Structure 1
Amino acid sequence: MTSKKKTLLFTALLTFMIAGSAYRPPDEGMYPLSELKKVSLNKAGLKISMKDIYNPDSVSLVDALVNVGGCTGSFISDEGLIITNHHCAFSAVQLASTPENDYLNKGFTARSREQEIEAKGLTCRITESYEDVSDKILGVTKGVTDPATRIRVINAEMKRLAAQAEAQDPSIKAEVSEMFIGKAYVLFRYKIIQDVRLVYVPSRNVGEFGGETDNWVWPRHTGDFSFMRAYVAPDGSAAKYSKNNVPYKPKKFLRVNANGVNENDFVFILGYPGRTFRNRPAQFIQYQQEYLLPYVSNLYEFQNKAMEDAGRKDKATELRLATRIKRNANVLKNYRGKLKGLNGLELTDQKRREDADLANYINSNVELKEKYGTLMSDIDNLYKTIYRDAFREMWFTQIYGSTSLLSVARQINLFKASMSAKPVSERARFYTDSVGVLEQKLRTLYESFDIDADRTIFSRMLSDASKLPASQRVAAVDKKVMKGFNGQEQVDKFVDATLQYTRLKDQAYVFNTLMKSAAQMGSYNDPLLAFEADLRSQIDGLRQERERRDGLLNKLMGDYVAVKEKFRQRDFIPDANSTLRLTYGYVRGYSPADATYMKPFTTIQGVLEKGATGNPEFKYPPVMKELWQKKDFGPFVKKELNDVPVAFLYNLDTTGGNSGSPVMNGNGELIGVNFDRAYEATINDYAWNESYSRSIGVDIRYVLWVASKVDKADFLLREIGVKL
């Protein structure tokens, strides 16, 4: 039987099972607040009012949501306590760790407010309100025919409206988000909390149990949770970290239901999903499949090996590079999962057929043909130019993030250029006013810098550039590296000489000497700065063409969605774009392969079974085995399993950014924390299907069991109102 026939058979069986049960399949989509009126949640299983979820005139569940460090979190007490994922706190825990206080591996528990430590680099963003500004944004494009000019005026108007909102209310941060590319825009107002502190983070062998072996895989046994606390100034205003700050009093916090959920129970998520690309044509999917996904995954695999090798020198280096390695590894496995999904589903071909049907629809209608007759060919021609420069563009996108010292050089060169642009009489003042911002940027870069890792990765990047086709050359590499080029030896020679000579690798010199005065900064130069300047010169020279393409794409995608809605005779849900969304569904297992069914719950028994395999990524705190053997589960046992559920599956529509999102039951109570998707669901960014799209959450019962039984953090349970 072909895979397509198997899929049809499974779908038919699934339909039969659904028809004979109370189970209702969810609708595809991550619904913005403005689209909630289109969702029949009460019919699906919601037991509270829709206004309890979002009410612009009163307090509702959305007021308990925060965006923290690019993830989602939720308030679970009136003292600003936040629950989110372990991996969302990872970078802050890494920055707080030292070889003497290795919180990253051993975990951290603050048993009093005084012991809570700053979560460096993390802030909280709370959605205050939103406003549709599509007419205002698109109004400024009337009469504008040049694509580059069009995108510039759109971006300028987005910034103007955000600045206007902030001027009207200085206490908020405003941002205009593009909901449909080239078509719909919404102004969001956010409250920003700048003082976030770590409260409780389990040990790494709980919070990252399974490591990369289990990442994006089901069955999962990862306790991916952590607790933070938001602080503000005594008057309630946002303030940077200070001992005088007090816990933030949220308008709303979620109630924790320690009883958890059962299979087929209705659940929903509120969160800040990153980006999806479901309303794009076949050419976009082809670009992902043939260019971006393989390039980045292969590059990140190389980078991680280089950083892991460097980390073997000593514990301090290992800790310093840990966050970069973890982020790369997560993207790497995600991208390879997407490639597997794209190949398996033949999504590009499917999109081509859909686009061909759309073209026929346009051509069959005189009015549509007059307005959109060249739409599909224009899209195709645009992507041909994008493919033509793809490898150089990807190289430029990755080069600064690959090599920390090159990013340091970029920041210094930009600062010097800004200072040089000022009249001589104003340069000293500019330096005094701006050097603090530069220093902060550089300190962030140096926090994850290692010279050996930089050397290896820089050499790889230059070697890749040397092999680009004639039409995609990197001028700085040809100028500095390719003279008398004799292969990798020449690349290594250039890298060694450049890194040996530059003093940017010496943090003490940079902060204590180079940044001592405007004169010192202005007069300093070295080969790395010169190489970066040449790089940036070509990037700047290509900007006009990129703006032309972006502007043209913006207009074409707006038309593409508009005519596709007419063709399908329905409105689309906007792609995710880091704004607050709702998705709903049910606790449910799935069948990823023939004769295989994945149950929706894992247990502590599974933790112990994996630990017995000898894989070092499956180590766990020894006390867990003792507690399990005694059946010391407290009130957190799931009777049907005679065990504590660790993680669970549900068919909600999620993507990156939903990490840390609260999973809630029909009463709006917290019963889990979302942290991942099954491997088959990595393709969610491009397509969603109830048969294979499964998200993974850590069960609140496991969170509470680990906190109380393993780490003796009963104070947390008392704060959130859970009785032992």
Structure 2
Amino acid sequence: MRRNLFVFSAAFCLLLLTLVQSAWKPWEEGMFPLSEVHKLDLQKAGLKISTREVYNPRGTSLIDALVNVGGCTGSFVSAEGLIISNHHCAFSAVQLASTPENDYLNKGFVARNREEEIEARGLTCRITDSYEDVSARVLNAVAQVSDPASRLKLINDVTKNIVAEAEKNDPTIKAEVSEMFIGKSYVLFRYKTIQDVRLVYVPNRQIGEFGGETDNWVWPRHTGDFSFMRAYVAPDGSSAKYAKENVPYKPKKFLRVNPKGTSEEDFVFILGYPGKTFRHRPAQFVAYQEKSVLPYIAGLYEFQNGVMEKAGAADKTTELKLATRIKRNANVMKNYQGKLQGLKRMDLVAKKKQEDAGLARYINGNAALKAKYGTLMADIDNLYKLINSDADRDIWLTQIYSSTSLLQVARNINTFKTALTAKPAAEKQAFFDEQLPKLKSTLESNYESYDLETDKAIFKRMLEDASAFNLTQRVDAAARISNRGSTVKDVVDRYVETTLGISKLNNPSYVYSTLLASPKSVENYTDGILLFEQDIARQVAELKTEKDRREGLLNKLMGDYVNVREKFLQKNFVPDANSTLRLTYGHVRGYRPADATYMRPYTSIKGIIQKGAGGHPDFAYPEQIRTLWEAKDFGAYAKKDLADVPVAFLYNMDTTGGNSGSPVLNAFGELVGVNFDRAYGATINDYAWNESYSRSIGVDIRYVLWVAEKIDKADFLIREMGVKNTL
């Protein structure tokens, strides 16, 4: 009897412990929307301030220090609009500011006063002003609509009206309606935009990109992936484009920097703008990604980078011009390779199929659910069979314009030309004069990374790929070319060399001064690449009806899928990330990627020296780092148990693309690091998250401050952030 009582008591205590441990973490993973923050017991997890100090819809909070800058996250760290983000987030702006004479991209940049700060071309800041759930308004409008394409069109029309209404009510904001759960919930976000962003401090590339692609998506990391920018507005506080008379923006809130950093198992949290995740999708979606999307794009980007690196090796100007594109491609390529490895290692498709089979049994075992969702799983399967039937062509069409810069130029000129031709004769000049500045600005962006020989090589690859598709996936423009000769390669080579070689679009000066001189000159000009682009655009337009029908059907099916899956699993889902502001939290923590292997959560300057000893170019570093390290000149930034300056650290938070530059905050809401990457095993985060392997990586604030003070003598920034007062 006593033994039975003991067994029962032990079991009861274990159950109670399990319930208590899970009570404050209602979801296995979490990129929590602002609307969910109040449901979390963050204090029990380790937060030392009130949740309202993190997010307060009726007052100022940490959220107000966050910005979306160039597709990354950044945060204000001073009352004068100073922003900290990642080195790779400022990379494109630094590249555009660089010349062979002023190579800021490789040597770094420090503006020691406001007058020296330079325009961060292409970058703007977006600040979340407020949000509002508009799901009822959107879904009520389509409640009686059964046709998939009509339903999707009506959803798009309603959301456009909501956006227009919001912007009319407040002309100072830009509005967006974001789909939180596909086909299920919609939120209106209101944003303030800052158009004038300037570079303040970017470290030497050997610091900001230490490890290069060798270390990308890998732990341990030793990358000083940080940069500083500043937001400017007009003297009256309104948003304005870059102008000398603009003044630093005064944020409602800026983050306090804690130069003491963190220790292992400290509570930390991140606020940021994560991109897209796909965790609430069925097995067929994951299979489509694994079989088609990920391998094709990874292989294509690997080929493109080989071509661009070869072109850059022969000419410094070309190297600088192509640097941003190479970096972006390489990042996506390795990420996709990691995802493929993770999907296969986890056998996620098989696990999803097993879960979906259980979901089907659950639906069929309940009369009410069967009446409502009885065909759901079969409908999903049939839709993905259609999607897979022309997957090669669909993916190719998503990549063709970004692969060939001159084709982007052709598309923009053709679009302008079509709109111009449609105007009555009396209106052509006015339309031309009004739209020309916008067109020129877009074309300038197209030409920024244009290199003729690179375009030729990549265009040839794309045409050869298209020629290999089966007849049901025919790309009309490519098929017309490949039918002109005996071998595909010979025909493609001849076509590309001729078409791109003689096109006057190769010459930006000709385009700006001659082709775009008048409405008549635009309407009269044509060449092979313009005709090719017209063929592509024509086929895309022809395919749009079916594509819209599929997207409308998917929208409805995924809404139903999420609804019934929540019931089946008896859990609340966190909406997939969609570039809206989110919170995630966890602890500074290492992990075990393989048997008998433990990855500690901190790296140090010593690791930079060790990696550099092998002579690999990705591990080159400024000699000053070794000199300071050997002298143990760590200033106030050493971590006691390391006897060194910590460079990067790990934490078990839930992040994805878009979280680059996100502030890593301690229990008191103080800045202790800047998020920049994930461990290789965590590249699969977009599809699945698990505490055992999902680790994110940040640059430690102590390394940021050490580099700023000791390497680049940027003490003025340390003082502006108020750090000297807390050391």
Query: TM-score, structure 1 length as denominator?
Result: 0.97
Letter in 2 for 1:218: W
User: Where does residue 305 of structure 1 map in the other structure?
Assistant: 306
Give 1:140 shift.
Answer: 1.5
* 2:482/2:488 contact within 8 Å kept: no
User: Where does residue 177 of structure 2 map in the other structure?
Assistant: 176
CA distance in 2, matches of 1:269, 1:478: 50
CA distance in 1, matches of 2:384, 2:261: 48
* 1:672/1:697 contact within 8 Å kept: yes
User: Where does residue 471 of structure 2 map in the other structure?
Assistant: 470
Give 1:492 shift.
Answer: 0.3
| SS of equivalent to 1:100 | coil
* 1:268/1:652 contact within 8 Å kept: yes
- 1:666 aligned to 2:667? yes
User: Where does residue 3 of structure 2 map in the other structure?
Assistant: none
User: Where does residue 86 of structure 1 map in the other structure?
Assistant: 87
User: Where does residue 645 of structure 1 map in the other structure?
Assistant: 646
| SS of equivalent to 1:698 | strand
CA distance in 1, matches of 2:255, 2:565: 39
CA distance in 1, matches of 2:486, 2:421: 35
| SS of equivalent to 1:653 | coil
Map of 1:495-574 to 2, 5 A cutoff? 495-574=496-575
Give 1:419 shift.
Answer: 1.0
Map of 1:612-623 to 2, 5 A cutoff? 612-623=613-624
User: Where does residue 455 of structure 2 map in the other structure?
Assistant: 454
CA distance in 2, matches of 1:482, 1:505: 26
Map of 1:9-408 to 2, 5 A cutoff? 27-408=28-409
Give 1:19 shift.
Answer: 12
Letter in 2 for 1:198: L
* 2:307/2:454 contact within 8 Å kept: yes
| SS of equivalent to 1:635 | coil
CA distance in 1, matches of 2:329, 2:234: 36
CA distance in 1, matches of 2:551, 2:422: 28
- 1:482 aligned to 2:486? no
Unaligned residue ranges in structure 1 (runs of 5+): 1-14
| SS of equivalent to 1:398 | helix
Which shifted more, 559-568 or 641-650?
559-568
Letter in 2 for 1:453: T
Per-residue deviation, residues 616-653 of structure 1 (Å, max 9, x unmatched): 00011101111001100000000110000000000000
| SS of equivalent to 1:636 | coil
Map of 1:592-607 to 2, 5 A cutoff? 592-607=593-608
CA distance in 2, matches of 1:253, 1:485: 66
Give 1:18 shift.
Answer: 11
Per-residue deviation, residues 273-330 of structure 1 (Å, max 9, x unmatched): 0000000000000001000000000000000001111112211100000000000000
CA distance in 2, matches of 1:634, 1:175: 46
Give 1:487 shift.
Answer: 2.3
CA distance in 1, matches of 2:18, 2:610: 33
Give 1:482 shift.
Answer: 2.1
* 1:637/1:643 contact within 8 Å kept: yes
User: Where does residue 495 of structure 2 map in the other structure?
Assistant: 494
| SS of equivalent to 1:165 | helix
Residues 131 and 20 (structure 1 numbering): CA distance in 2 closer, same or farther, change over 3 Å?
closer
| SS of equivalent to 1:646 | strand
* 1:481/1:494 contact within 8 Å kept: no
| SS of equivalent to 2:384 | helix
| SS of equivalent to 1:592 | strand
Q: Name the count of aligned residue pairs.
A: 709
Which shifted more, 376-385 or 493-502?
493-502
CA distance in 1, matches of 2:384, 2:20: 47
CA distance in 2, matches of 1:305, 1:719: 43
Per-residue deviation, residues 567-595 of structure 1 (Å, max 9, x unmatched): 12222110000000000000000000111
* 1:502/1:528 contact within 8 Å kept: yes
Which shifted more, 468-477 or 580-589?
468-477
CA distance in 1, matches of 2:21, 2:357: 38
CA distance in 1, matches of 2:484, 2:141: 49
* 1:584/1:653 contact within 8 Å kept: yes
Give 1:722 shift.
Answer: 1.0
* 1:276/1:575 contact within 8 Å kept: yes
Letter in 2 for 1:211: G
User: Where does residue 9 of structure 1 map in the other structure?
Assistant: none
* 1:480/1:531 contact within 8 Å kept: no
Letter in 2 for 1:544: T
CA distance in 2, matches of 1:254, 1:32: 20
* 2:274/2:659 contact within 8 Å kept: yes
Letter in 2 for 1:683: I
Give 1:21 shift.
Answer: 12
Letter in 1 for 2:265: N
Structure 1 runs, 4 residues or longer, greater than 6 Å off: 17-22
Unaligned residue ranges in structure 2 (runs of 5+): 1-14
CA distance in 2, matches of 1:19, 1:635: 43
- 1:432 aligned to 2:429? no
CA distance in 2, matches of 1:502, 1:473: 26
User: Where does residue 696 of structure 1 map in the other structure?
Assistant: 697
Per-residue deviation, residues 421-440 of structure 1 (Å, max 9, x unmatched): 22221111111110111111
* 1:660/1:675 contact within 8 Å kept: yes
Give 1:27 shift.
Answer: 4.3
Letter in 2 for 1:403: T
Query: TM-score, structure 2 length as denominator?
Result: 0.96
Give 1:484 shift.
Answer: 2.7
* Percent of residue pairs identical: 65
| SS of equivalent to 1:230 | strand
CA distance in 2, matches of 1:453, 1:716: 40
CA distance in 2, matches of 1:365, 1:466: 50
Letter in 1 for 2:710: K
CA distance in 2, matches of 1:477, 1:165: 44
Give 1:485 shift.
Answer: 4.0
Per-residue deviation, residues 191-239 of structure 1 (Å, max 9, x unmatched): 0000000000000000000000000000000000000000000000000
Letter in 2 for 1:663: V
Letter in 2 for 1:179: M
Give 1:142 shift.
Answer: 2.2
CA distance in 2, matches of 1:221, 1:146: 54
CA distance in 1, matches of 2:20, 2:169: 55
| SS of equivalent to 2:73 | strand
Letter in 2 for 1:36: V
CA distance in 1, matches of 2:64, 2:468: 52
Give 1:73 shift.
Answer: 0.2
